[in-house]
Amino acid sequence: MSSKPEPLAAAFIHHLTHERRLSPLTADSYARDIRLLLSHLHKDDLAQVQSPHIRQVIAQLHGKGLSGRSLARMLSAWRSFYRYLIRSHGYQHNPCIGLRVPKSPQKLPNALSPDETVRLLTFSADHILTARDSAMFELFYSSGLRLAELAQLKLAAVDFAEGTVRVRGKGGKERIVPVGDFALQALKAWLDQRAQIVKPDVTALFLSQRGDAISTRTISHRLKGRARQQGINQNVHPHILRHSFASHLLQSSGDLRAVQEMLGHAHITSTQVYTHLDFQHLTKIYDIAHPRAKKRN
C-alpha cells in the first residue's frame, strides 16, 4: 500500500480527470485543496492521519481568515480524496468523516439591477471583438451560464430554430437552456464575422483574437473593461451575470424549480439563496410604496 502523499494526490487528480471526467477547472480546484491539506499536515504517511489532525488544519485555516464556505468546500475535497484512497489504495478509514467547519454568515451573491444590466449590455458592436463580446455577454445573462460553461461552448451548442443552448455543466451533466432574442441576434452577428479569424478545425463558439478557443481569463478581462466603459461602479465579475439572471428571473416568475433547472444546480438549496435577493427587492418596494411601512418625516 503506497502512502507517500504527492504520488497519491497526483493519482487522485488523474482519476478525477480521466475516470470521473470532471472539467479541468474542477480538477484544478481539487488539486489546490489537496495541496493545501498536504502542506499543513506535515505527514509522510497519509494512513497515519486522524480526525484531530484534520480538525487542527481546519482551525489553522480558519484562523488565517478562510470562510466557512471555503473550508466546507475543502473538507469535501479532502473527504473525497480519502474515499478514493480507501477504494483504490487499501486505506482503512476516512479521517474527514463527521467533521464540521465553522459557520460563516451567508454572503448573498451580488447582482446588477435590471437597469444596470441593460446599460452593461448596450454598446456598439462595430468591431469583430466587440461583436464577440456582445454575443458572449448577452448569452451569459440570457441563459445564466457559468463562466467555464460559456468558454467551453461549441458551435453546435446553439439551436437557433428552437432558441436554446445545450450546456455541459458540472460533472459532465448536460442541460438545455432557453436563449432570448437579444442573445440570438447578437450570436448571429458574431457568427457572421467568426469565420474571419477562426483557425482550422477549431469548433469553439467563442474565439480569441488569434482564432482559437477563448479563455476564461479573457472573458473576465473583457467584461470588467466593458463595465468600466459603461460607467458601472461595482465589481462586475463574470458570475455577476449569472447571479443577475437568477435574481431577475426569480423576481419575475417566482418559480424556484425552473430557475434551479436553468442554473444546473443539483440541489434546490443552492438556488434558494436567490430567494433572499428576491426578498430584499420586495422589501425595498414595500418600504417605498406602502403607506404604513415607515414613518415619513
Q: Active-site residues: which are they?
A: 146, 170, 239, 242, 265, 274
**Would you say the C-alpha torsion 158, 162, 164, 168 has a positive or negative sign?**
negative
Amino acid of residue 29: S
Burial class (CB in 10 A: 0-12, 13-18, 19+), 104: middle
Residue partners of 222: CB distance under 8 A and separation at least 6: 129, 133, 136
Angle at which helices 51-63 and 68-89 cross, to 10°: 150
Residue partners of 118: CB distance under 8 A and separation at least 6: none
User: 50-82 burial string, b = 16+ CB within 10 Å, else e?
Assistant: eeebbeebbeebbeeebbbeebbbbbebbbbbb
Contacts 24+ apart (CB under 8 A), 26-33: 26/170, 29/73, 29/77, 30/77, 30/80, 30/81, 33/73, 33/74, 33/77, 33/78
What is the rounded distance in angstroms from the CA atom of residue 6 to the CA atom of residue 10?
A: 6
The residues pairing with 175 across neighbouring beta strands, listed in sequence order, are 167
What is the rounded distance in angstroms from the CA atom of residue 55 to the CA atom of residue 63?
A: 12
